[in-house]
Structure 1
Amino acid sequence: MTDVADVRSFWKDLGLPGLMDLHVHFLPPSIERAVWKVFDEGGELIGREWPILYRGTAAERVAFLQECGIRGFSTLPYAHKPGVAGFLNDWSRDFAAEVPEALRSATFYPEPEAAGYVPALVADGVEIFKLHLQVGSFHLDDPLLDPVWATLADAGTPVMVHAGSGPVGTSYTGPASTARVLARFPRLRLVIAHMGSPECSDFLALAEEYDGVHLDTSMAFTDFFAEGPHDGRFPADLVPRLRDLQGRVVWGSDFPTLPFAYAEQLGWLAELDLGDEWLRDVCWHNSLRLLGRTAANS
């Protein structure tokens, strides 16, 4: 497969042992079918045609990532309503137990129970959480999440947050609630999905202000984002500021919901012309540091 060969060539040319991909989705089959249906219909949550290229079985998709040399990848479940986080988290736990490369991923929702189950998940070894403000229809500073944020600030467990208004904004998306949470819990380690597209400038400023804020590259540098209902591609005039954030940008692909080959995003990332050392940190070292891993246990 050319795609596999291109991915492997990318990290080998950088002298890396593989890639860490912090933005990958593996979901329970019933949830996955529902998510893919939303993408297929291109309705109000998507706003455009979005053909999914990687539609194989979960086993086939795992094999693809393994063949590409993805040494660690998330599963990123996200709760869309109260009462479903437990089901998603149990499934993700079992998936990670069967797939050595899978990072122990989990989610939570603004509900009274979150104050109890999030500390338990942290104690049980969850490595990364995922929240999706557009899909879940909540603000990041919902009062029900106050005890959760206190727990995560102390634990240092990263949370991947889809807070940007791409692909379609709602009254819950945008940087405002993220900024309010960080003002109260400045030690949080938040990973801003898609570089915060399309509010890239605002989320970049938050990363510059708070040492725990990281930026996830998924989709943000692609022509596909530039061709959407609004131009969501990371603005070229902001790219130089990413040099100073070299240690807090992490590689993410959004696999399998990609309308183009996995390797293409790596090419777009290299075209930023920020240098091989920047690419090595983004594609490998930064994720290891964020997760508290070493190369030996990845």
Structure 2
Amino acid sequence: MSTERTPFEPAIDPHTHQFPERLMDAIRGSLTEETGWEFDHPVTRAGIEEILAAAGVERYVALPYVHEAGMAADLNTWLCKQATGSERLLPFATVHPEDENTKQIVRDAFESGARGLKFHCPVQECAPADPRIEPALSVAAEYNAPITYHGGTAPMFEDNPYVGADLFEELLDSYPEIRVCCAHMGTYETDRFIEFAREYDNAYLDTTFAMSTRAEETMSFEPASIPDERLIELSESIMYGSDLPNIPYPYREERAGLLARDLEKETYRDLFYRTAAEYLGLDE
């Protein structure tokens, strides 16, 4: 039996989710209602890690978010506790723009082991550089912690006032000292977001959903619109991601399309490991 690793291994997955069961059920129910997607991946840490380990993922990030004030502190605490029993899990934290004392909520999370922040701009109804979350962004800068945003218009937010390239550019100009990632390749404004990755040292993208083999079917986006040359050119600013367990297809479909491109080994090492390690501030 061959033990040779694929170009995917070893990998870091910087875009997964873990929530308490009732909250996860609510999130999945909302997604199914909006999109028709159905989900069958396990939602427990053990179940998620079994899938990741089988694929060759050595470290992964769990990204939280909350839809209303008063939930973030407890969710951050829960996720950090999940990480204490895992050698793979890197927890992020979140805060709601209407929370009282957003600065303290984020500081407490970082002191408990959180490695970065996550904002889902459409769900949390805040722009990336919203003044209400400025205290949270200042704490992230203090801790040299990265921030991952759902800042693009896909898959159902094209008319949402809290997302889009213009608002993300305001963030990049206002906080050049913070590493920030726009998930899903910035779809549907990929050209603008790719330019951000080229122009701004602190701008990153992840491939989640947008570069899967099911992207055209699930979000009406064609991965081939991003040519190999762009991935090669910007491999130090683009990293793999999956959205596991909230994907309506097998985990392998997130990476299969990228692997089918037959890129050079160095490009794959960036996409699947090194860029995420740099973004996350890991020592590897």
Provide the TM-score with structure 1 as the length reference.
0.86
Residue identity opposite 1:76 in structure 2: L
Instruction: Identify the range of structure 1 (268-277 vs 172-181) with the bigger mean alpha-carbon deviation.
Output: 268-277
Aligned equivalent of 2:266? 277
* Equivalent residue for 1:86, pick from 73, 81, 86: 73
Aligned equivalent of 1:201? 191
Q: Is the 8 A contact 1:201 1:238 kept in 2?
A: no
- Runs of 4 or more above 6 Å deviation: none
Q: Is the 8 A contact 2:153 2:164 kept in 1?
A: yes
Residue identity opposite 2:52 in structure 1: L
Q: Is the 8 A contact 1:85 1:107 kept in 2?
A: yes
**Aligned in 2, Cα 1:30/1:274: closer, same or farther, shift over 3 Å?**
same
Q: How does 1:60-71 map to 2 (within 5 A)?
A: 60-71=47-58
**Aligned in 2, Cα 1:13/1:228: closer, same or farther, shift over 3 Å?**
closer
* Equivalent residue for 1:114, pick from 102, 107, 125: 102
Residue identity opposite 1:209 in structure 2: E
SS for the counterpart of 1:247 is: coil
How many angstroms does 1:279 deviate by? 0.8
SS for the counterpart of 2:248 is: coil
Q: How does 1:244-263 map to 2 (within 5 A)?
A: 244-263=233-252
**Aligned in 2, Cα 1:13/1:273: closer, same or farther, shift over 3 Å?**
closer
Q: Is the 8 A contact 1:166 1:232 kept in 2?
A: no
Give the whole-Å Cα distance in 1 for the aligned partners of 2:210 and 2:258. Answer: 9
* Equivalent residue for 1:39, pick from 10, 13, 31: 31
**Aligned in 2, Cα 1:125/1:56: closer, same or farther, shift over 3 Å?**
closer
* Equivalent residue for 1:54, pick from 41, 44, 51: 41
* Equivalent residue for 2:208, pick from 215, 218, 224: 218
Unaligned runs of 5+ in 2: none
Per-residue CA shift, 1:61-97, capped at 9, x if unaligned?
A: 2222223332111111112121111111011011101
How many angstroms does 1:161 deviate by? 0.5
Give the whole-Å Cα distance in 2 for the aligned partners of 1:90 and 1:233. Answer: 38
SS for the counterpart of 2:185 is: helix
Give the whole-Å Cα distance in 2 for the aligned partners of 1:158 and 1:174. Answer: 19
Instruction: Identify the range of structure 1 (83-92 vs 216-225) with the bigger mean alpha-carbon deviation.
Output: 216-225
Aligned equivalent of 1:151? 139
Give the whole-Å Cα distance in 2 for the aligned partners of 1:15 and 1:171. Answer: 37
Give the whole-Å Cα distance in 1 for the aligned partners of 2:122 and 2:199. Answer: 24
Q: Is the 8 A contact 2:60 2:88 kept in 1?
A: yes
Asked if 1:22 is matched to 2:22, the reply is no
Give the whole-Å Cα distance in 1 for the aligned partners of 2:226 and 2:18. Answer: 34
How many angstroms does 1:159 deviate by? 1.0
**Aligned in 2, Cα 1:209/1:288: closer, same or farther, shift over 3 Å?**
same
* Equivalent residue for 2:91, pick from 101, 104, 108: 104
Give the % identical residues. 27
**Aligned in 2, Cα 1:195/1:98: closer, same or farther, shift over 3 Å?**
same
* Equivalent residue for 1:127, pick from 93, 103, 115: 115
CA RMSD of aligned residues (A): 2.3
**Aligned in 2, Cα 1:91/1:272: closer, same or farther, shift over 3 Å?**
same
Residue identity opposite 2:24 in structure 1: E
Q: Is the 8 A contact 1:53 1:261 kept in 2?
A: no
Aligned equivalent of 1:168? 156
Residue identity opposite 2:148 in structure 1: M
**Aligned in 2, Cα 1:154/1:205: closer, same or farther, shift over 3 Å?**
farther
Residue identity opposite 1:82 in structure 2: A
Give the whole-Å Cα distance in 1 for the aligned partners of 2:226 and 2:88. Answer: 36
Q: Is the 8 A contact 1:27 1:77 kept in 2?
A: yes
How many angstroms does 1:21 deviate by? 0.4
Give the whole-Å Cα distance in 1 for the aligned partners of 2:107 and 2:46. Answer: 31
